[in-house]
């Protein structure tokens, strides 16, 4: 059974991975203007997040020349989100954020996936410039590519 999520706002974020990326290397998000902690008199709170593979979308709409991560790339990375000086999310496997029914594509690669959207409670004050992906092993894709994330968010009054 699927649970439906009614998103108020969402935006796409990207982490670019260079060609021949090595294991145990961190790759940071760039500053996320629309997801900064405080916007005017409101606090941005992340309510849900997911990542996409090349079976969802072929190329990044942010860096149009970059292909999107393949199934083996999704299985090869973990996510860390920094909340000020605290790692609120530490080494979360990207496969747990890839929302689709697992299936084998034409290249006989099984795309990782989960049925439910990863949702969060009271997740705010994320320092995006200190948040990153870590590759578990050398990147399976030898050319440059992008990890894409869809962030679902809302605004709360500043406390």
Q: How far is CA 128 from the centre of its chain?
A: 11
Residue 2 has pLDDT above 60, yes or no: no
- Pick the closest to residue 81 from 145, 151, 144 (CA basis): 151
Q: Please report which confidence band the pLDDT of residue 1 belongs to, taking 50, 70 and 90 as the band edges.
A: very low
Average of pLDDT values for 94-110? 67
pTM for this structure? 0.84
- Residue 83's pLDDT is 86
pLDDT at 43: 83
Mean pLDDT computed over every residue of the chain:
84
Q: Count of residues for the chain?
A: 159
Residue 36's pLDDT band, with cuts at 50, 70 and 90, is confident
Q: Which residues are CB-contacts of 99 (< 8 A; sequence separation ≥ 6)?
A: 50, 113, 114, 115, 116, 117, 118
Evaluate if residue 90 carries a pLDDT over 50: yes
Structure tokens at 100: 């689709």
58: left (phi over 0), alpha (psi -120 to 50) or beta: alpha
23 band by pLDDT with thresholds 50, 70 and 90: very high
Whole-number pLDDT of residue 124:
82
Structure-model confidence comparison of residues 135 and 104, the more confident one: 135
The β-bridge relationship of strands 9-17 and 26-28 is: unpaired
């Amino acid at each position: 059974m699927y649970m439906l999520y009614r998103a108020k706002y969402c935006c796409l974020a990207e982490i670019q991975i260079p060609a021949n990326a090595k294991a145990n290397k961190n790759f940071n998000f760039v500053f996320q203007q629309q997801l900064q902690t405080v916007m005017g008199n409101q606090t941005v709170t992340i309510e849900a997040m997911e990542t996409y593979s090349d079976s969802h979308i072929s190329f990044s709409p942010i860096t149009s020349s970059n292909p999107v991560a393949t199934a083996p790339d999704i299985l090869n990375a973990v996510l860390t989100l920094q909340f000020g000086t605290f790692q609120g999310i530490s080494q979360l496997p990207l496969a747990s954020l890839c929302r689709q029914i697992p299936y084998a594509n034409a290249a006989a690669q099984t795309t990782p996936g989960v049925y439910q959207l990863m949702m969060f409670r009271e997740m705010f004050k994320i320092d995006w410039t200190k948040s990153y992906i870590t590759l578990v092993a050398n990147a399976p894709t030898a050319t440059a590519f992008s990890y894409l994330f869809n962030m679902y968010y809302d605004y709360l009054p500043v406390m």
